[in-house]
A = this chain, B = another copy of it.
Amino acid sequence: MPTSRSYRDACGIARALDVVGERWALLVIRELLLGPQRFSDLRLALPNASSNVLADRLRELEGNGVLHRRKLSPPAASSVYELTESGRELEPIVLALGEWGVRVALPTTPTTLSATSVLLFLRASARPDPEGATSVCRFELNDRAWTVRTEAGQVHVQAGEPLEPDVSLRTDPETLNALLEDPGKLDVVVSDGSVTVAGDCSALRRLLATVEDRASAR
């Protein structure tokens, strides 16, 4: 059963926390920032959240208009969760919280790292040449495909297969994150098999080369 406690405080901050302040809520929202996800995708991305809590949070967030459950078109019988307009308005706040979080102490315990987390970081810190050519990279992380498009000085990331990728890269979030910190490792991780690259490798190198602020993993 969903949580129904409230701070009973008229302040907007408290009202926001009534909606997105329960455990895991903002991480669910993080996972949806790059596009709709199924229940099982969320479970994979947030393996430390138990399924009942995840189901509770999704119900509550849907009830509060932050996200929305949508049936996929007939072929697929499943449904996905996607942010509403209201939910998308949390994006700058969640990203700012992340920037603050990377500055506080690193955790000592072993951690997970979701594909979305790394891709959000990539999108936020890559600064492609505004004059540079458009390029399309396909990222396959944990058996799910993502489209990373570089154009006009911006990086666009979305879930799903690209139509005409210049290059395809298959790895896991941790390795990709290591690559963002140090693109020089590309040859090493390719040769040890933790990354597979197919296509125009130079497009990938160009993208990696534009990532700023290398100090911080997220």
Contact = CB atoms under 8 A, between A and B. Distances in A.
Given A26-B21, A64-B104, A98 B16 contact: yes
A95 to B, nearest CB: 8
Q: How many copies does the complex hold?
A: 2
A97 interface: yes
Contact of A48 (B9, B103, B109, B113): B9
Contacts of A100: 12, 16, 89-90, 93
Contact of A105 (B24, B64, B97): B64
A10 interface: yes
B96 A18 contact: no
B9 A112 contact: yes
Nearest to A17: B26
Interface string A104-141: 11110111111001000100000000000000000000
A15 interface: yes
Nearest to A114: B11
Interface of A: 6-19, 21, 23-24, 26-27, 30, 46, 48, 64-65, 86, 89-90, 92-107, 109-114, 117, 121, 177, 216-218
